[in-house]
Structure 1
Amino acid sequence: MVIERSKHSFFNEKMPVCALGGAWLSFCLVDESGDGKPYGGLRYEVFDSAGGCYKGRLTEGGFAKLEGLCKGPVVLVFDASSETRVGYYSTLQQRKTYPLPITDLQIRAEQTRFSNTNGRPTERHPAGEKADQFYQVEVSDLVRHIAHLPPVTPTPHRPKRHALKMMADLGFGPPQPSFAGVVLFPDRHTVLEVRPLRALRPILSTQDEFCALNLYQLALFAALSYCDFGQAPPNHPVDEVHFPLDPSVGNLFAEQLAGYQEAWRIDPDHPQRFYPLYEDVPYSRRFEILPFDPELYPQNRPALGDEQEHPARLHFFDDEKFGTDTQAFITHHEEVILISVRGTVSNADVLRDANAHQVAFADGVGKAHEGFYQAYRAMRDFVLHYLGQFHIGQRVIICGHSLGGAIALLLAEGLRRTPDRTYNILLYTYGAPRAADAEFTHGASTLVHHRIVNHNDPVPSVPAPWMNTTAKLWVPGAITLFSLPTPGGLLFAAGLVRFGGNPYQHHGEQQHFMPIVLPDGTHSSVLWKPGCESIQEAGCNRALQLHGDMPDRDNLLKQLFQASQHFMTASYIPAAWATLRRWQQAVDSNSPLVTAREFEWLDHALETMRQQLRDKRRELARRQPMNDRAYEHHEPLNAEIDRLHTSRERLETLRWRRLEARDVYGSQAQAAHLQPSLKRWFSHRENHALPQVASIPAPTQTEWGRAQPLDIDAIV
Structure 2
Amino acid sequence: MAIEEWKVPFFSEKMPACPLRGCWLSFSLVDETGNGKAYGGLAYSVLDSNGQRHIGRLDGDGYVKLANQYRGPLVLTFEAVHESSGADYHGVLQARDHYPLPITELQFRAEHTRFVRNDGLRVEQNPAQEQANRFYQVEVRDLVRHTAHLPPPAPRSYAPRRHALKMMADLGFGPPQPALSGVVLFPNQHSVLEVRPLRALRPMLSTEDGFCALNLYQLALMATLSYCRFGQEPATQPQDEVRFPLDPSIGHLFAEKLSGYEQAWRVDAGQVQRFYPLYEEVAYSRRFEILPFDPQLYPQNSPKLLGEQEHPANLHFFDDEEQGTDTQAFISHHDEVVLISVRGTASAADGLRDANAHQVPFADGIGKAHEGFYQAYRAMREFVLRYLDQFYSGQRIVICGHSLGGAIALLLAEGLRRVKDADYNVLLYTYGAPRAADAEFTGGAADLVHHRIVNHNDPVPSVPAPWMNTTAKLWVPGAVTLFSAPAPAGLLFAAGLVRIGGNPYWHHGEQQHFMPILLPDGTHSSVLWKPGCESLEEAGCNRALYLNGDMPERDNLIKQLFQASQHFMVSSYVPAAWATLRRWQQTLDNRGSLVTAREYALIDHALGTMGRQLQDKQLELHRRRPANGRSHEHYDGLAAEIDRLQVSRQRLESLRWRRLQARDVYGSHAQGANLPASLKRWFSHRENRELSQVASIPPAPHDEHGKGQPLDLDSIV
Return the TM-score normalized by structure 2.
Answer: 0.94
Mapping 1:338-377, distance limit 5 Å: 338-377=339-378
Distance of aligned partners of 1:303 and 1:541 in 2 relative to their CA distance in 1, 3 Å threshold: farther
Q: Which residue of 1 aligns with 2:496?
A: none
Q: 1:99 to 1:545 in 2, by over 3 A?
A: farther
Corresponding residue for residue 36 of structure 1 = 36
CA–CA distance in structure 1, aligned partners of residues 419 and 376 of structure 2: 18
- One-letter identity of the residue aligned with 2:74: V
Deviation at 1:170, TM superposition (A): 1.4
What does residue range 113-124 of structure 1 map to in structure 2 within 5 Å?
Answer: 113-124=114-125
Structure 2 residue 385 is matched with structure 1 residue 384: yes
Q: Does 1:399 align with 2:400?
A: yes
- CA 1:471/1:43 → structure 2, altered by over 3 Å: closer, same or farther? farther
- Deviation track 1:382-415 (CA, whole Å, cap 9, x = no partner) reads 0000001111110000000000000000000000
1:397 to 1:534, Cα distance in 2 relative to 1, 3 A: farther
Q: Which residue of 2 aligns with 1:491?
A: none
Unaligned runs of 5+ in 1: 482-499
Distance (whole Å) between structure 2 residues aligned to residue 9 and residue 475 of structure 1: 92
* 1:232 pairs with 2:238: no
Asked whether 1:68 is paired with 2:68, we answer yes
Do 1:360 and 1:367's aligned partners in 2 also have CA atoms closer than 8 Å?
yes
Cα 1:647–1:300 change in 2 (3 A) is same
Deviations 1:656-712 (A, max 9, x none): 111111100011100011011000000000000321111111212342242543233
Question: What are the residue-to-residue correspondences of 1:288-437 with 2, within 5 Å?
Answer: 288-437=289-438
Query: Could you tell me which residue of structure 2 aligns to residue 173 of structure 1?
Result: 174
Alignment match, 2:83: 83
SS of aligned partner of 2:338: strand
Alignment check: 8 A CA contact 1:512 1:530 kept: yes
1:355–1:470 Cα contact (<8 Å) kept: no
Mapped to 1, the partners of 2:77 and 2:510 lie a distance apart of 56
Cα pair distance change 1:336/1:24, threshold 3 Å:
same
Structure 2 partner of 1:48: 48
CA change 1:629–1:187 in 2 (3 A) is: closer
In structure 2, the partner of 1:636 is 637
Over 3 Å counting, the alpha-carbon distance change for 1:651 and 1:547 in structure 2 is same
Deviation at 1:605, TM superposition (A): 1.2
Aligned to 2:494: none
- 1:516 aligns to 2:517 (yes or no): yes
| Percentage identity across paired residues of the two chains | 72
* Rounded Cα–Cα distance in structure 2 between residues aligned with 1:391 and 1:541: 48
Answer with 615-624 or 402-411: which moved more: 615-624
Determine the structure 2 residue equivalent to 1:456: 457
Q: Provide the residue aligned with 2:671 in structure 1.
A: 670
Letter in 2 for 1:42: L
Q: What is residue 17 of structure 1 aligned with on the other side?
A: 17
Residue pair 1:323, 1:349 contacting (<8 A) in 2 also? no
The one-letter amino acid of 1:85's match is: S
Structure 2: how far apart are the matches of 1:478 and 1:2? 96
Which residue of structure 2 lines up, in the alignment, with residue 496 of structure 1?
Answer: none
Would the aligned equivalents of 2:477 and 2:552 in 1 still touch at CA under 8 Å? Answer: no
Inter-CA distance 534–200: structure 2 relative to 1 (3 Å threshold): farther
Using the TM superposition, give the Cα deviation of residue 29 of structure 1 relative to its aligned residue in structure 2, in angstroms. Answer: 0.2
**SS of the residue aligned with 1:92?**
helix
Distance 1:615 1:457, change over 3 A: same
User: Which string of whole-angstrom CA distances, capped at 9 and with x for unpartnered residues, describes residues 323-357 of structure 1?
Assistant: 11110000000100000000231125522431111
Counterparts of 2:264 and 2:6 in 1: how far apart (Å)? 58
* 2:417 counterpart letter in structure 1: R
3-state SS of the aligned residue for 1:535? Answer: helix
Task: State the Cα RMSD in Å.
Answer: 2.4
Aligned-pair distance for 1:277? 0.2
> Counterpart of 2:220?
219
Instruction: Report the alpha carbon displacement of residue 553 of structure 1 after superposing the two structures with TM.
Output: 5.2
Q: Where does residue 562 of structure 1 map in the other structure?
A: 563
Q: Deviations over 1:129-161 (max 9, x none)?
A: 110000000000000000000000121101111
Conservation of the 8 A alpha-carbon contact between 2:458 and 2:563: yes
Q: Mark the CA change 1:632 to 1:543 in structure 2 (over 3 Å): closer, same or farther.
A: farther
Query: What's the secondary structure of 1:397's corresponding residue?
Result: strand
Stretch of structure 1 that moved more, 263-272 or 245-254? 263-272
Q: How far off its partner does 1:615 sit?
A: 1.4
Amino acid at match of 2:245: P
Amino acid at match of 2:41: G
The total of aligned residue pairs comes to 698
Alignment check: 8 A CA contact 1:82 1:104 kept? yes
1:25-58 CA deviation, whole Å, 9 max, x = no partner? 1000000000000000000000011101000000
Aligned-partner residue type, residue 224 of structure 1: L
Residue identity matched to 2:451: H
Contact 2:585 2:665 in 1 (8 A): yes
TM-score (norm 1): 0.94
Assess if the C-alpha contact under 8 Å between 1:144 and 1:178 holds in 2. Answer: yes
Q: Which residue of 1 aligns with 2:271?
A: 270
| Cα gap change, 1:519 to 1:59, in 2 (>3 Å) | same
Distance 1:664 1:687 in 2: 15
Is this contact kept in 1: 2:228–2:250, CA < 8 A? yes
Q: Quickly say closer, same or farther: Cα 1:578–1:349, change in 2 above 3 A.
A: closer
Distance 1:406 1:273 in 2: 28
For 1:328 and 1:542, the matched residues in 2 are separated by 39
Distance 2:299 2:12 in 1: 34
Query: What is the alpha-carbon distance in structure 1 between the residues aligned to residue 134 and residue 537 of structure 2?
Result: 72
Distance in 2 of aligned mates of 1:476 and 1:337: 42
Name the SS of the counterpart of 1:2 in structure 2. coil
Flag the 1:349–1:431 CA change in 2: closer, same or farther, 3 A: closer
Contact 2:18-2:71 within 8 A present in 1 as well:
yes
Q: Are the counterparts in 1 of residues 511 and 530 from structure 2 also a CA contact under 8 Å?
A: yes
Residues 10, 50 of structure 1: 8 Å contact kept: no
